Structure formats: C-alpha cells, structure tokens
Amino acid sequence: MKDNYKLFHDILMKFHLTGILENIILIGSWVLPVYKRYFNDSPEIPILRTSDIDFLIPNPPKIGNIVNIPKLLEEYDFEEQFSLLGNHTKFVHPDLEIEFLIPDIGRKSDKSVLISEYKVTAQPLRYLYFIQDHTLKLNYSFVKLIVPEPTVFVLLKFLLTIKRKDQIKIDKDIATAVELSEFLLKLPDQVEKFEKYFLEMPKIWRRKILNIIEDKSPELYEILSKK
C-alpha cells in the first residue's frame, strides 16, 4: 500500500478530466486528507489508515456524461469484481479498492443499482441520503471534490457503525469519528453545524447517535443531548 496516495490522486485527476467528479461524492475515510487540507493541514485531523475508497452516487443520479468507469480503471490495473451478495461492483488493486454506493431511499433493498452511464453497479445503504443533502465542494490536489460536511461525516460515521458486523472496523470508525469531532468542537462554527444538522435528523437517528456517543464522545454528547 506504499503508493496509494499517488494512485488516489491519479484517479481523482482522471475522474476530474472525464467529468465524473461533478456527479459523485467522496465519502468514507479518504475524505480525511481532504479535510486536513481544508483546515490548514491541522495535525489534529486523524491519519488515514484504509485502502477502501467509497464514492456516493446521489439518488436519483444526475449524470450528464457517459464514461466507461471499468475501462478507465483498467488503465490503472484495477480488476472489476462482483460482491457475493447484492451483485454490486468493486474495483480492486493491490493498493486500493474503489466502491460505489447509493442512498437507499424508501423501501429497504439489498439489490444493487445499475448506473448505466458509468457501467457500474452501486450498493444501496441506509442513512446516506443525508450526506447528499449536506455537502461541500472543496479544492484538493488541483481538482474540485464534493465531500460531506465534516460534522455530517462525523454524525453518520457514528450512526453507520450500527450496520457494521466487524468489531475491528466498528472500533476504527468510532476512533476516527471521535478524533475528528474533538477537533471540530474547538471551532464555534462547526459546533453550530453539529447542532443544526443533528436537529435535522429523524428522532430515531438522534436517539441512536446519542446512545453511541454517550460513552465514546462525552463532549459531543453533552452538546447534542440538550437539543
């Protein structure tokens, strides 16, 4: 995984040149180096430790151009694989894996969603529609990236641990969310955003988040539990 940052940047540039970045949202832990740059390279932003790159395709997709993503990624030695459950695609390289997700809106379904314009299938996941409604467009490595609002990223990171089954990944996600929240809580404008976006969430989401953070992030719990 020694050269994954360079590969990550190369993929971003290729997606930028083909117009893909205008239609997708970078989510998951690879947003951390983007946040780090946005917050003036703060050393308090947690360090990235993952090979998985997740892109969110908004639902419904609004794609104006046609790009053969599997063929594009072949140029970088990515192999297209299909999951055993749901039949969604994943692109695997010795240094990185790329996966496409889509918000599961309405009736819950594990069936993958074909994105014909990109020739990929996306895995539907609950909760992610909240991200597509709360994003930032930031400059990073000579491209413009759409990413979640940092406070929304933290809140959803906590919430999505409910869907995890691997305890190691759960602990890793919680540690990332805690570290980033500790940094954001030092910034008054970000504290306001925590409060604002938390109140925009359904009550059941709020209860689940509070249950998770009560012990894991007491400072954030103290702020949000009063809302």
Lowest mean pLDDT among 104-108, 114-118, 192-196: 104-108
Distance CA 217, CA 183 (A): 12
pLDDT at 111 (0 to 100): 80
| Predicted model pTM | 0.93
Distance CA 129, CA 58 (A): 7
Distance set, CA 204 to CA 12, 18, 81, 194, 207 (Å): 36, 40, 35, 17, 5
Helices (H) and strands (E) in the chain, counts: 9, 9
Distance CA 179, CA 45 (A): 7
Mean pLDDT of 136-165: 92
Amino acid letter, 225? S
Residue 107, pLDDT above cutoff 60: no
Q: What is the pLDDT of residues 200-210, one digit of tens each?
A: 999 999 999 99
Beta partners for residue 100, in sequence order:
55
Lowest mean pLDDT among 58-62, 182-186, 211-215: 58-62
Quickly state the pLDDT bin for 86 (edges 50, 70, 90). Answer: low
Residue 188, pLDDT above cutoff 70: yes
Beta partners for residue 182, in sequence order:
none
